[in-house]
Amino acid sequence: MISRTPSLAINSTTFQVTEFILLGFPGFLRWQHWFSIPLTLFLLAAVVANITLVLAICREQNLHEPMYYFLCKLAVVDLSLSMVTTPKILVLLWFDATSISLTGCFTQMFFVHWLVLTESGIFVAMAFDRYVAVCNPLRYHSIVNKCLVVKFILVIIGRSLAVALPVPFLAARLNYCSEQIVKYSYCNNLAVTKLACDDISLNSMYQLTVANSVLGGDFLLICVSYCLILHAVLQLNAVGAMAKAFSTCSSHVIVILISYSALIVIAITHISDSEIMTCSAIILNVLLLIVPPALNPIVYGIRNKEINLGIRKRFSNLCC
């Protein structure tokens, strides 16, 4: 809904936006409701898989190790990321409920940034965990203990809050006086701030410089960690030891590639203003929020023997 400000003249064309309209998937408006089918399946998979993973880690004593604590935190973040945006997208697709209040939009914007940054930080912690496990296995339990895990998680959450919190406040300070149609299916920061009547250079600079540099820095640290791991593995003479080292890291590498590849492609598509690239960015933004949360626990559940056994034990107990 758009309401005129009382002090404006009758012929004035200036409005005050009180809510935004989420357009969904521009370019696919005629049949975008079909997108609800795969999105619903991915949401159900994310909810079931992540809850199952958390329960298995919490209740199985042999999974009470630092690596699995990080996985448990990752599952909670993935589940939260799915629930922040996907239900609203499904309501939009099912019932054409396209409106969202400014407060709801800025709140969604904050949680998306906070959870994405938190997930990135967890990937860094997991890469460090695997680095110590492969390169310094004899001192692993003395270095990576429960105290260090707690410190890692607190630092990750605090850093993510510090970086994500300015995003909605910078967006809320702007005056939205004319356009209210957001060409996305959720409140994307850059898409929303482009609708403002004020100068958005500070918002763009913060988004592209500060927030993205944090993600880029995390990705660089992860790459360095796995390069060191690869170098250490190649120094091993025993084929069995090399296979075990590759096996313990393969799940992490697959999950990281799934998450960061989408981020990299989105960053590239935002550079172009062409309609095709914009549509690609919109679809990739949605896939980034729903596909990794659904696939991450499945990858770990299939490739990690201990988690696999723990999940089977949970299901067998339920059946009995």
Report yes or no on 151 lying in a domain: yes
Q: What is the pLDDT of residues 203-232, one digit of tens each?
A: 988 987 887 789 889 999 998 998 888 888
Tell me what pLDDT residue 244 has. 65
**pLDDT, position 9:** 34
Residue with tokens 């003479």: 237
Confidence of residue 6 (pLDDT cuts 50, 70, 90): very low
Q: Model-level pTM?
A: 0.87
The Cβ-side half-sphere exposure at 137, using a 13 Å CA radius, reads 8
CA distances from 10 to 3, 15, 104 (A): 13, 11, 30
Residue 6 lies in a domain: no
Question: For residue range 135-183, what is the model confidence (pLDDT) as tens digits?
Answer: 888 899 899 998 999 999 999 999 999 999 999 999 999 999 888 899 8
pLDDT value of residue 10:
32
In a domain, 255, yes or no: yes
Instruction: Provide the mean pLDDT of the chain.
Output: 83
pLDDT value of position 269: 62
Question: Is 193 contained in some domain?
Answer: yes
Q: Is residue 203 within 8 Å of 193, Cβ to Cβ?
A: yes
Work out the angle at residue 27's Cα, subtended by the Cα atoms of residues 23 and 33, and round it to the nearest 5 degrees. Answer: 65
Asked if 293 and 81 touch (Cβ cutoff 8 Å), the reply is yes
CATH of the domain at 219: 1.20.1070.10
Residue 202 lies in a domain: yes
Query: Rounded to whole angstroms, what are the CA distances from 65 to 62, 70, 153?
Result: 7, 9, 14
Residue 12: per-residue pLDDT: 38
Task: Quote the domain boundaries for residue 107.
Answer: 18-319
Q: What is the percent of the chain where pLDDT is above 70?
A: 82
In a domain, 143, yes or no: yes
Task: Say if 248 falls within a structural domain.
Answer: yes
Most confident among 15-29, 145-159, 259-273 (mean pLDDT): 145-159
In which band, very low, low, confident or very high, does the pLDDT at 313 lie, cut at 50, 70 and 90? confident
Q: How many domains does the chain have?
A: 1
> What digits encode the pLDDT tens for the residues 34-44?
888 999 999 99
Domain contains 41: yes
pLDDT digits (tens, 9 = 90+) for 44-92: 999 999 998 998 889 888 888 888 899 999 999 999 999 998 999 999 9
Q: Give CA–CA dist 88/24, Å, rounded.
A: 10
